[in-house]
A and B are shown apart, each in its own frame.
Chain A
Amino acid sequence: MNSLGSLIVRRLAFAILTLFIISVLISVGVELLPGDLARSLLGQMATPETLAALRKELGLDQPYHIRYLAWLGDVFRWDLGRSLANNILVSELIGVRLENTLFLAAVAAVIAVPVSVILGLVAALYRESFFDKFVSMTTLTTISFPEFLVAYILMVIFSVQFPFFPSMANVTHDMAFWDRLHAVALPVMTLVLVVVAHMMRLTRAAIINVLSRPYIEMAELKGMSSAWIIVWHALPNSLAPIINVIVINIAYLVVGVVVVEVVFVYPGLGQLLVDSVSNRDLPVVQASGLIFAATFIFLNLTADILSILANPRLRHPK
């Protein structure tokens, strides 16, 4: 039990270290790049006064470590500065958008996880069958498709040809839950298609991997039915890789929304990030980049810990 605790503490320490390094990179890594940031933001025509003012606003006139600590303190107080583009408080700008992105990712995950695990199970159970081949062909295609193509194909089918769902996923705060769900139907479908392909393939691979073990052969020789073998013997033993795949894909969902949000003009964090990168609105880029990073690292940490818990063998590393 002690080793389990220390293993988890070690993972936690690594996650915190990663987050620390990323935050340093985001806040002052800007400095490591050649050229003057203030000048590149304002262009060649800037007067010395505006340059000095922007430098002061960005805190470029202070040494690295002070700037970093000040920035970190601000972040902890949820004071993320003001947007350079329209002078709105970044925390205000981000709050609603983060909520929207999490909503989109959560709906997609709720649908995608059970679907992919069940499909993966069935494909593993009837492997080399027509169903299995069909599924693996479909997943290979979906993996090769760029996300925006999947999104546009769905848009053409379900919004232009058969107008079931809106092509612009615009949600506002005062919408009822079902209206919201209806509005995000197409982005959710896109995300589900992209993620299910990946999750299902790995679920199938994990179960087939377990099925080649001697104890499965023993169970077969005892005369157990193949469905029972999969549910009783194979599934628990492949739980660790499956959990891993699921959590990593949810992490992917939170980040992979960027392209999908842009396609469907969804007011989420990804869209905001892309817009601010084009405007070079650094405070917004830094804040949303940090939020994405923290979410991603936290979910990966969860995947690590859950798979250690689900697989006792991992508790005793060789």
Chain B
Amino acid sequence: MIARLTRSFLKVPWSAQLGFVIIALNVIAFVFAPVLAPYPETQIIGRGWEPGFWAMDCSDEAVSQRGPCWSEFNTGRVEGKAWLGTDHLGRDLLTRLLYGARNTISIALLITGLSFFIGMTFGFLAATMRGWVDQLISRIVDIMMAYPTLIFALIILSVAGTSTLVLVLVIAILDSTRVFRLSRAVAMDIVVTEYVESARLRGEGLLWLMRREILPNTLPPLIAEFGLRFCFVFLFLSALSFLGLGLQPPMADWGSMVKENSGVITFGVYNALIPAFAIAFITIGVNLVVDWFLRKAAGLRDEY
């Protein structure tokens, strides 16, 4: 099993391998955050904005006094230093980053899942029923898409407040318009095939048609789209958090971490860039895998 997985992993181009490794790292951070984190989530371990490993003193003198220069950075001991420095309140940045992975990734996944549920249901519905149902949903989506997403979200958040539930619903609904477009377009091709026709003539219900005939045949493009939408949602959520309107403290979250620590960038303290790079890292990883998947799916279609 493991051998087979390794072999198929080695066959993948290097860019996709890189993507898989990045995703795996994030999954590990997600699952094992409490184990990996050197300190508890909200513990204050030092002064604000202490530098991390880049400020290690590796001169001969320091090494002879204290041993190898990395021993300055130990894990688990409060008197030690923090590998990635501390945040504005003096909490360990690495710990916050690991817990932040949990919050940000799980909420982004939840939003993407919800958005796909809404978008696919309506998309398949529009494709199967055609007629006025299709017209009505499509026009509503046209109007929603004619409006900039970020501004839309900001206006709704200003009225409804910035609770996590509102945030999830708003982004999911706004994002489901794109899923709707794609799933409707893909399903349109499937609806006219003979096997859907024969299922219809057999007297199968609408739900059965959508779930058993259309869904399995539209999966590959939708899976790739899931990756892209996840990236988009992740960036969108981070942007909102960065603006102070996304996930609210004390929840650790990458976008808010950038915001909290960004004030001192002009003074040469770059701790805020670490969570920002973490955001870029995961979106690049997912993008690389999606890229490979799309190319593979296209290639398969050529062969047949």
Q: Which A residues form the contact surface with B (CB < 8 A)?
A: 14-15, 17-18, 21-22, 26, 29-30, 33, 37, 40, 140-141, 143-149, 152-153, 155-156, 159-160, 167-168, 251-252, 255-256, 258-259, 262-263, 273-274, 276-278, 280, 282, 285-286, 289, 292-293, 296-297, 300
Determine if B239 and A146 form an interchain contact, defined as CB atoms under 8 angstroms apart. Answer: yes
- The answer on a CB contact under 8 Å between B280 and A149 is yes
Q: How far is the CA of A49 from the CA of B198 in the complex (A)?
A: 67
Q: Which residue of B lies closest to A29 (CB)?
A: B159
Query: With A140-B284, A259-B243, A273-B154 in contact, is A167–B147 under 8 Å at CB?
Result: no
Partner of B265, one of A15, A160, A280: A160
Q: In the complex, what's the smallest C-beta–C-beta distance from B33 to chain A, in angstroms?
A: 22
* Interface 1/0 per residue, B140-177 and A, CB below 8 Å: 00110011101100110111110000000000000000
Q: Is the CB of A152 within 8 A of B272?
A: yes
Instruction: Tell whether, in the assembled complex, residue A146 and residue B280 are in contact, meaning their CB atoms are under 8 Å apart.
Output: yes
> How far, in angstroms, from A273 to B151 measured CA to CA in the complex?
9
Which B residues are in CB contact (< 8 Å) with A276?
Answer: 158
Min CB distance, A67 to chain B, in Å? 15
**B86 beta carbon closer than 8 Å to chain A:** no
What is the number of residues of chain B that contact chain A, defined by CB distance less than 8 Å? 41
State in angstroms the CA–CA spacing of A258 and B264 once bound together. 21
Interface residue B182 (Cβ < 8 Å from any Cβ of A): no
7 contacts between A and B (CB under 8 A): A17-B143, A251-B148, A255-B150, A263-B262, A276-B158, A285-B154, A293-B148
B224 at the interface (CB under 8 A from A): no
Report whether over half of chain A's contact residues are helix, strand or loop; otherwise say mixed.
helix
Whether B279 and A149, one on each chain, are in contact in the complex, defined by CB atoms closer than 8 angstroms, is: yes
Candidates B239, B262, B268; contact of A147 at CB < 8 Å = B239
CB distance from B212 to the nearest CB of A (A): 32
Instruction: Decide if B242 is an interface residue (CB 8 Å cutoff).
Output: yes
Please tell me if the beta carbons of B277 and A149 are within 8 angstroms of each other in the complex.
yes
Q: Point out which of B161, B280, B288, B291 has the most chain A C-beta atoms below 10 A from its C-beta.
A: B280
Q: Top 4 nearest A-B pairs by Cβ distance?
A: A149-B276, A144-B283, A277-B158, A255-B148
B-side contacts of A277, CB under 8 Å: 154-155, 157-158, 245
User: Would you give the shortest CB distance from B54 to chain A, in whole angstroms?
Assistant: 13
Q: How far is the CA of A286 from the CA of B143 in the complex (A)?
A: 18
**Chain A residue at smallest Cβ distance from B243:** A274
Chain B interface residues toward A at CB < 8 A: 142-143, 146-148, 150-151, 154-155, 157-161, 231, 235, 238-239, 242-245, 255, 258, 262, 265-268, 270, 272-273, 276-277, 279-280, 283-284, 287-288, 291
A282 with B159: CB separation less than 8 A: yes
Closest residue of chain B to A273 (Cβ to Cβ) is B154
Task: Please give the distance in Å from A125's CB to the nearest CB on chain B.
Answer: 22
User: Shortest Cβ distance from A245 into chain B, in angstroms?
Assistant: 16
Question: Which of B147, B258, B279, B287: most chain A Cβ within 10 A?
Answer: B147
State whether A144 touches B243 (Cβ < 8 A).
no
* Known A-B contacts A145-B280, A152-B262, A262-B243; A18 and B143 likewise in contact (beta carbons under 8 Å): yes
What residue in chain A is nearest B254 (Cβ atoms)? A146
Q: Add 20 more A-B contacts to A140-B287, A144-B283 (CB < 8 A).
A: A21-B143, A146-B239, A146-B276, A146-B283, A149-B277, A149-B279, A153-B273, A155-B266, A156-B265, A160-B265, A274-B154, A276-B158, A277-B155, A277-B157, A278-B244, A285-B155, A285-B158, A286-B155, A289-B154, A293-B148
Measured CA separation A148–B239 after assembly (Å): 8
A residues less than 8 Å from B279 (CB atoms): 146, 149
State how many angstroms separate the Cβ of B286 from the closest Cβ of chain A: 8
- Per the bound structure, the CA–CA distance linking A278 and B268 in Å amounts to 28
B246 CB, min distance to chain A CBs, angstroms = 12
* Chain B residues within an 8 Å CB radius of A30: 159
Q: Which residue of B lies closest to A286 (CB)?
A: B155
Q: Given that A30-B159, A140-B287, A160-B265 are contacting pairs, would A297 and B147 also be in contact in the complex, using a CB cutoff of 8 Å? A: yes
| In contact, B159 and A33 (Cβ under 8 angstroms) | yes
